[in-house]
Amino acid sequence: MSDKLWIFDTTLRDGEQVPGCQLNTQEKIIVAKALEDLGVDIIEAGFPISSPGDFKSVEEISKAVSNPIICALSRAVQKDIEVAADSLKYAKKGRIHTGIGVSPEHIKYKLRSDPDEIIRRGVAAVKLARNFVDDVEFYAEDAGRAEHDFLAKIIEEVIKAGATVVNIPDTTGYCLPEQYGGFISMLKNRVPNIDKAIISTHCHNDLGMATANTIAGVQAGARQVEVTINGIGERAGNTSMEEVVMAIKCHGSIPVETSIDTPKIYGTSRLVSKLMNMPVQPNKAIVGRNAFAHSSGIHQDGVLKHRENYEIMDPKDVGVAESSIVLTARSGRAALKHHLDALGVELEGEELREVYEQFLLLADKKRDIGRKDLMSLVGKYVSDSNFVELISVGYSSNGNITSQVKLKVGEKEYSETAEGNGPVDAVLKAIEKIVEPQVELEEFLIQAMTAGSDDVAKVHMKVIKNDVPYFGFSSNSDIVLASAMAFVDALNKIPVKEYATT
Ligand SMILES: CC(=O)SCCNC(=O)CCNC(=O)[C@H](O)C(C)(C)COP(=O)(O)OP(=O)(O)OC[C@H]1O[C@@H](n2cnc3c(N)ncnc32)[C@H](O)[C@@H]1OP(=O)(O)O
Ligand SMILES: CC(C)C(=O)C(=O)O
């Protein structure tokens, strides 16, 4: 039987401490609802004493969200705790998170205090918070640099005072996994009443150890993890939720389970990144753009033969539709063939080898090769199916723009007219009317080849039919005609049998 691992999300508190990432109340509510939907157990919604805006956000999140516990942060200061309690008045389940620094540095230089006084203030803070809520979490700030004896003592005392969760933060991101796990084991072994509280991890990433330390903490007995989406947070950030959740999911040997609905991870990551205006680094584990992108030949061949050769998790499990095979100068024939097949160009043997040689010459010059490049490489191999034939294209403007299009589909000729917000739109709409069942136009790119007004327009188009993408290309000095030709080119890539109902 696995234990429950409580997921405490602090994206809206520690995550929001990232310079330039502050959110307004409405944006915080959007994130809080997404976190609820994702399945987090506790949302740390803010530090209410810090500003009227943060107070309001905690209040509004308490109203907007019903399943997770809503947590408000405070120092071990009477006013902070009273204000935190007030901000939680609408929460169905509210928690006050209070605490104080416990390392020699914090006690001496930050708080200008002594160990006995720190224990007294910690205990008083927990007792005061318990007057307002039953759920009180105590943080032993900078526990990662604390002395074991003192940490064990203060944790014992705050549990006696009523703390239901004890948080052991590696505030400065200093610990190595063995050391951090050692703190948790030490507390489990030495604090007589430790089983009366849940031990929580809160790790910072200053040495890139946040996830490793959190996992070490869980392996040593912590049953709550404090995490943020995309690992955002003060300085180098916090432990990233997606990493911890997926590490646990991938390693059945860690005897805990979470309530996170993992296919919602990617969407939540994008939402937070967009609202906080904070791009996700491309190589970020789980949610980075390249997390499931394979760019070198040996890996691509391996993935194409059997995905698990190079993937330890299914991208769908975290909400990424599929892995991608990116064509670069390090790609091999397997990857090239994979992309050509997707374009409907089936090459083998000598033909494939010939195109591969050309591909490498191009790939050495360009960083990555797109579909347009491929189409120009294989132009002579593309079958020129003319199932759909463009006979004529015209349009008139009389206030409204109306197109007239004549197409031959199979053996039959069709004429259609359509209105649009410009000639290109009107012409494409008329073609869409003729070509049943409908295709969906997903990408449409017009590029000028030179800079003159007599320029030739290059058009690239992607249409979707039955979830399969088809690409069309053309060039002409008449933009409207070039667009119609690219559309028809894409339609001709669709297998003829798909037009059976026409
Ligand atoms: C580890 C964490 O606390 S992470 C959260 C960090 N987040 C924030 O700091 C954002 C919110 N903070 C704020 O808005 C402000 O700092 C406030 C409202 C809390 C305090 O503002 P001010 O009263 O102007 O104090 P200031 O920020 O300059 O200094 C912090 C004071 O709190 C004290 N303090 C710091 N942590 C604690 C604590 N956990 N318990 C008690 N006192 C503390 C410091 O020693 C310092 O006191 P001093 O002025 O007597 O030396
Ligand atoms: C408030 C505490 C939990 C904190 O953010 C830290 O120690 O890093």
Run means of pLDDT, 10 residues per run, the chain, 502 residues: 95 95 96 98 98 98 98 98 98 98 98 98 98 98 98 98 98 98 98 98 98 98 98 97 98 96 98 95 97 97 97 97 94 95 85 94 86 75 72 90 91 89 93 78 79 71 82 86 92 70 39
Which of 212, 243, 275 represents a domain boundary (last residue)? Answer: 275
pLDDT value for 496: 66
Asked if 309 and 302 count as a contact pair (C-beta separation under 8 A), the reply is yes
The answer to whether position 288 is within a domain reads no
CATH number for the domain spanning 269: value is 3.20.20.70
**Whether 372 and 394 share a structural domain:** no
Residue reference for tokens 């990857």: 335
Q: Give the ligand with the smallest distance to the CA of 101.
A: 1
- Six-digit token string for 189: 């072994």
Identity at 16, one-letter amino acid code: E
How far apart are alpha carbons 498 and 486 in whole angstroms?
19
**Backbone dihedral angles phi then psi of residue 435, each to the nearest 5 degrees:** -85, 95
Residues 433, 349 share a domain = no
Binding-site annotation: residue ranges? 14, 202, 204, 238
One-letter amino acid of 115: P
**Cα 140 to Cα 148: distance, rounded to the nearest angstrom:** 12
- How far does residue 77's CA lie from ligand 1's centre (Å)? 9
ipTM surpassing 0.85: yes
Say what the pTM is.
Answer: 0.80
CATH of the domain at 369: 1.10.238
What's residue 262's pLDDT? 98
Q: Is the CB of 137 under 6 A from ligand 2?
A: no
Residues 322 and 352 in one domain: yes
Q: From atom 17 of ligand 1, which residue's Cα is the shortest distance away?
A: 50
In a domain, 126, yes or no: yes
Q: Are the C-beta atoms of 472 and 488 separated by less than 8 Å?
A: yes
Cis peptide before 437 (omega within 30 of 0): yes
Q: From the CB of residue 195, how many other CB atoms can be counted at a distance below 10 Å? A: 11
Is the domain of 218 the same as that of 268?
Answer: yes
Question: Do 265 and 363 share a domain, yes or no?
Answer: no
Distances (CA, A) of 84 to 61, 69, 70, 275, 311: 13, 14, 11, 25, 44
User: Does 173 fall in a domain?
Assistant: yes
Instruction: Report pLDDT for 397.
Output: 87
Residue 339 in domain: yes
Q: Tell me, using a 6 A CB cutoff, whether residue 47 lines ligand 1.
A: yes
Residues 156 and 265 in one domain: yes
What is each CA distance from 202 to 215, 217, 241, in whole angstroms?
A: 11, 9, 11
The CATH number given to whatever domain includes residue 406 is 3.30.160.270
Residues 6+ apart with CB under 8 A from 482: 446, 457, 458, 459, 474, 475, 476
DSSP codes joined into one string, 192-227: TTGGGSEEEEEEB-TTS-HHHHHHHHHHHT--EEEE
Ligand 2 centroid to Cα of residue 15, in Å, is 11
Domain total in the chain: 3
Judge if the beta carbon of residue 163 lies within 6 A of ligand 1.
no
d(CA 64, CA 56): 12
The answer to whether residue 308 sits within a structural domain is yes
Domain termination site, one of 381, 403, 433: 381
Residue 280: inside a domain, yes or no? no
In a shared domain, residues 366 and 415: no
- Looking at residue 502, what is its pLDDT? 40
* Domain coverage including residue 425: 388-499
Report the distance separating Cα 180 and Cα 239, nearest Å. 13
* Structural domain contains residue 357: yes
Strands 400-409 and 412-420, how do they pair? Answer: antiparallel
Alpha helices in 239-288 (DSSP H): 241-250, 265-275
Residue reference for tokens 């996700």: 280
Helix ranges, 133-200 (H): 148-161, 177-190
Q: Which atom of ligand 2 is nearest to the CA of 169?
A: 7
Which tokens belong to 222?
A: 């912590």
* Contact between residue 465 and residue 439 where contact means Cβ atoms under 8 Å apart: yes
Question: Separation of 10 CA from ligand 1 center, angstroms?
Answer: 18
Q: Could you tell me if residue 173 is left (phi over 0), alpha (psi between -120 and 50 degrees) or otherwise beta?
A: left
Site to probe by mutation for ligand 1, drawn from 10, 55, 58, 75 as the one with most ligand atoms within 8 Å of Cβ, is: 75
Measured in angstroms, how far is the CA atom of residue 89 from the centroid of ligand 1?
23
Answer yes or no: do 125 and 149 share one domain. yes
> Closest ligand 2 atom, CA of 13?
5
Residue keyed to tokens 């696995």: 2
Do 41 and 281 meet the contact criterion of CB atoms below 8 Å apart? no
Claim to verify: residue 169 and residue 249 sit in the same structural domain? yes
Estimate the crossing angle of helix 78-87 against helix 52-64, to 10 degrees. Answer: 40
**Residue 285 resides in a domain:** no
- Where are any strands of DSSP class E within 304-411? 324-325, 388-398, 400-409
Query: Ligand 2: does its nearest atom lie under 6 Å from the Cβ of 167?
Result: yes
Residues 409 and 364 reside in one and the same domain: no
377 and 392 belong to one structural domain: no
Domain end (from 320, 350, 381): 381
Query: Do 16 and 111 share a domain, yes or no?
Result: yes
* Number of residues that make up the chain: 502
